[in-house]
Amino acid sequence: MKPMGAIPPDFAGSAPLQIAGRAASAWIEQAGDTPLFVYDAGVVRRRIARFRQAVPEGVDLHYAVKANPFAPLVAAIAPWVDGLDIASKGELELVMAIAGKPASAISFAGPGKRDDELDLAIRAGVTVNLESEGEADRALAIGGRLGVTPRLAVRVNPDIELRGSGLRMGGRPSQFGVDAERAAALVTRLVVAGADWRGFHIFAGSQALDAQAIIETQAATLALAARLADEAGAAPPLVNLGGGFGIPYFPADAALDVEAIGAALAGALAERPAILGETRFAIELGRWLVGECGVYLTRVVDRKVSRGETFLVVDGGLHHQLAASGNFGTVVRRNYPVAVASAAPDVPTETVTVVGCLCTPLDLLADKVTLPVAHPGDVIAIFMAGAYAASASPSAFLGHSPARELLVGLDGQS
């Protein structure tokens, strides 16, 4: 038997599984079939309320659309946040089609922005977070050609790292951002060229569960922004402090202490250097906002015993939920939280391995976990499926149908 992560509190304790006040089976019936991602908007709304409560005035909340670009979910979140951060022309078109978010609330980060992407963003009045001097040259030229003053921020490749983070993006050579040593010179060039310089974007890492590490990173980020502003002799209208708030996927993980982060940030902002006196701040979050709202529901097709080990073979797999198979940026494979959604409370348990329907041994969804005894027709729930799941999985691999997706809980019943 191997351990698995804890079921998120929003879904723990119900048998059969309830999502947003209804049985998982009812959502499957509404959607038509499995495999199905169900996203509970109530979970996201409560997250955002908690963030607002914890984090001081003057700090905006942005949603990083790449975490989950399901259009109904993005449309639900848009009015609850101050900005949307996008990373491609496709995401730009998606958020521009959603009513209610002005272009000034949209920022576009990411390496390798093509001219047609810059053109569309600058035309629309979206803030472009510049990843290099070369991109700055192209953005200025496109603005000149269009006769539009481009809104440009400088993404900084910091000389700091987010300690305890799954993904490290600072303090080393990087395709992301302009090295801190050269950022002030680029700001000066943008201002001289007549661009609308929007400030700095400093993103130091992702999936951090250590509040102290985030507190230290935010303090260092503030200090870096002040130093660069002093060097450039210009006060930034906005400093995007990055994000990196993680969620507890695995057995040893504990939920992030967001209240401690908010309190420390309030203290740091109260004592910020004078050059940042009029600056607004933003925190951009993807995973922490939506990761726990999603449940992937997949039906047992076959139950087999092989050399003493029981396998449940389901109709979904890594082509929909790659991360649960351990093949999306993890070094050691560990079990996501999993349940038998269809099981009544009193069903005896057994040790089983849940595998997907792909012809590859990589398609392992839960390895030797303890679950209620399940048979073909039963439904397996894999939690923590709201971020980097459907859109971050190789859905064309092996030619199975894409998963269905359903947004629920918008009426506030959950």
Ligand X SMILES: *Cc1c(COP(=O)(O)O)cnc(C)c1O
Q: Among 94-102, 200-208, 224-232, 327-335, which window interacts with ligand X (CB under 6 A)? A: 200-208
Among 109, 128, 178, 241, binds ligand X (CB under 6 A): 109
Rounded least distance, CB 108 to ligand X, Å: 10
CB atoms within 10 A of CB 310: 17
Q: Count residues near ligand X (CB under 6 A).
A: 15
Tokens describing residue 172: 């080393």
Residue 107 or 279 with smaller CB distance to ligand X: 107
SS (H, E, C) 212-223: HHHHHHHHHHHH
| Of the candidates 405, 302, 411, the residue with the CA atom closest to the CA atom of residue 73 | 405
Based on the shown chain and the rule CB under 6 A, indicate whether residue 151 belongs to the binding site for ligand X: no
What CA–CA distance (Å, rounded) separates 277 from 271?
Answer: 10
List of long-range contacts for 105-113, beta carbons under 8 Å, 24+ apart: 107/62, 107/83, 107/153, 107/198, 107/201, 107/240, 109/85, 109/155, 109/201, 109/203, 111/175, 111/176
Q: Does 8 bind ligand X (CB under 6 A)?
A: no
Among 206, 279, 321, 393, binds ligand X (CB under 6 A): 206
What token pair was written down for 148? 């539009």
Pairing of strands 338-340, 379-382: antiparallel
Give whichever of 72 and 166 is closer to ligand X, judged by the CB atom.
Answer: 166
Tell which one of 34, 127, 207, 217 touches ligand X (CB under 6 A): 207
Identity at 354, one-letter amino acid code = V
My answer on whether omega of the bond before 3 falls inside 30° of 0, hence cis, is: no
64 is an interface residue for ligand X by CB under 6 A = yes
The only residue of 151, 287, 299, 404 in contact with ligand X, by rule CB under 6 A: 287
Rule CB under 6 A: say whether 285 interacts with ligand X.
Answer: yes
Please, what is the minimum distance in Å from the beta carbon of residue 177 to ligand X? 9
**Least spacing, CB of residue 380 vs ligand X, in Å:** 25
CB of 158 to ligand X, least distance (A): 12
**CB of residue 388 to ligand X, shortest distance in Å:** 7
Give least dist CB 166 to ligand X, A: 8
* Residue of 341, 338, 316 lying closest to 393 (CA atoms): 316
Which residue's structure tokens are 């304790």?
13
Work out how close the CB of 329 gets to ligand X at its nearest, in angstroms, rounded to a whole number. 11
Minimum separation from the CB atom of position 296 to ligand X (A): 18
Query: Does residue number 77 form part of the binding site for ligand X (CB under 6 A)?
Result: no
Q: Does 321 bind ligand X (CB under 6 A)?
A: no
> Rounded to an integer, what is the distance from CA 84 to the centroid of its chain?
12
Q: Does 248 bind ligand X (CB under 6 A)?
A: no
3-state helix, strand, coil in the chain (%, to 5): 35, 25, 40
Residue 165 interacting with ligand X (CB under 6 A):
no
* Chain residues that interact with ligand X, rule: CB under 6 A: 64, 66-67, 85, 109, 203, 206-207, 243, 284-288, 387
